[in-house]
Every structure is written in structure tokens, then in C-alpha cells.
Chains A and B, each alone.
Chain A
Amino acid sequence: KQEVTQIPAALSVPEGENLVLNCSFTDSAIYNLQWFRQDPGKGLTSLLLIQSSQREQTSGRLNASLDKSSGRSTLYIAASQPGDSATYLCAVNGETSGSRLTFGEGTQLTVNP
């Protein structure tokens, strides 16, 4: 059974800092991995989708990398802003689990002005 772990569970940084969020998964047989942002009590906003054949994806200040063989992904946020404060979730689409996403428990990010 696929298990997804995110470290750290919470992170507090000053504005302007670059930061890295980590995601690991136990079964490397995946189709792709998605990073999401969730504001308190709100829906999930897809940030980046990275296919298993890709090493990284970039969108604005965000960069996601994937090392499928080691079961790891990182989300890099450059020049963090208070508006980046949210919970960040990674989700894996595994080859043995149909097309369902298996989520990590998230990293709660706070960017202080």
C-alpha cells in the first residue's frame, strides 16, 4: 500500500526566504505526483503536476523535482511571501492504485511579514 509522508509538518519562515518542502512515497511505481495548496477550510488548488518521466516542473516561483527511484519529491518556493501561507499537500498517482491520488498529511507553511 502506497504511503506518502511530508516533512516538516509545519514551517514558519520570514518573508523573502527560499524554502523547500519534502515529500516521500514508499512505492516508486507511480504515474505522476501533484503538489496542491490548501487554505484553511478551502478547496485544493493544483500547483504542479510532474509525470514519472520528468525530473522537474516549474511555475513562477515554484519548482517541483521528482526522484522516482528514491521515492522523493521536493517543492521549492523562492522569495516566499505572506500570501504563500497555506498547507501544501503532495499526492501520488500510483501504478497499482488506479487513478486515485494518495495524499500526504501536508506541510503547514506560515510566512511572516
Chain B
Amino acid sequence: AAGVIQSPRHLIKEKRETATLKCYPIPRHDTVYWYQQGPGQDPQFLISFYEKMQSDKGSIPDRFSAQQFSDYHSELNMSSLELGDSALYFCASSLGQVLYEQYFGPGTRLTVT
């Protein structure tokens, strides 16, 4: 069965640089979520989209922005990167909101040096 695809899988950036993470949800899934997992921590919700509109926003820094495109894929743009942004970034998708199971991608490991 098709799963959530994330690219790239690994990314190394320097401080103050910009990074773009991409997420391709499971076919027919209309909701995308982004989570950040720091070293030794549990995943923290960043932002979500339903039918290409932002549906919820968590503890996402102002330096980060995201959107969902017409083909339902999503991109997380991160600017002015800081050392503390080093983390595993997960995208999840679901068939609808609230009551539906969220399926997670393999994650993008971002290292900021």
C-alpha cells in the first residue's frame, strides 16, 4: 500500500540558510499535518492543512511557513535556520479530519550546523 512520502530524507544546512521539506500524502488523503521531533523528545505539532486550507496551527516559529498545493502535496519552508531547528520533521496524512487515523511518513532529518 502507498505510504506518505517525504523528501529529502536527510538535509544538512548552515545557520541562517533556508530549507524546504516536501510531503506527498497517501492518495485520496486530503489532510496533511507537520510535526517536529527534537532529539529525545516526543513529536510536537506544527501545522495542518485540510483541502488546501490551513486548518490548525501549533508551535510553529514565524520563520517557518507551509502550504498545501492543488495536488495535495505540502511543503514546509524554513528560513533563517537556527541550531535548535535540528530535528526530525514528520509529515502525516489522513482521509479527512478529526476522527481519522493519521499515517506518518519516514521523516526528514534536518541538521543545522
Q: Show the binding face of A for B, using Cβ within 8 Å.
A: 31-32, 34, 36, 41-46, 49, 51, 89, 91, 93, 97-106
List the 4 closest A-B pairs by CB distance, nearest first: A98-B56, A100-B45, A103-B42, A44-B104
Chain B residues within an 8 Å CB radius of A100: 33, 45, 48, 56, 58
Contact across chains for A46 and B31 when beta carbons are under 8 A apart: no
Chain A residues within an 8 Å CB radius of B33: 99-101
Main DSSP-derived SS at the A contact region: strand
A3 to chain B, nearest CB (A): 11
Kindly identify, within residues 45 to 73 of chain B, every residue whose CB is under 8 Å from any CB belonging to chain A: 45, 48, 50, 55-56, 58
Which of B35, B45, B99, B102 has a CB less than 8 Å from the CB of A46? Answer: B102
Contact across chains for B105 and A98 when beta carbons are under 8 A apart: no
Contact across chains for A105 and B99 when beta carbons are under 8 A apart: no
A21 to chain B, nearest CB (A): 14
Chain B residues within an 8 Å CB radius of A104: 42
Chain A residues within an 8 Å CB radius of B50: 99
B41 to chain A, nearest CB (A): 8
C-alpha spacing A43/B31, complex, angstroms: 18
Contact across chains for B98 and A93 when beta carbons are under 8 A apart: yes
Q: 0/1 per residue, B74-113, Cβ < 8 Å to A?
A: 0000000000000010101010011101111111010000
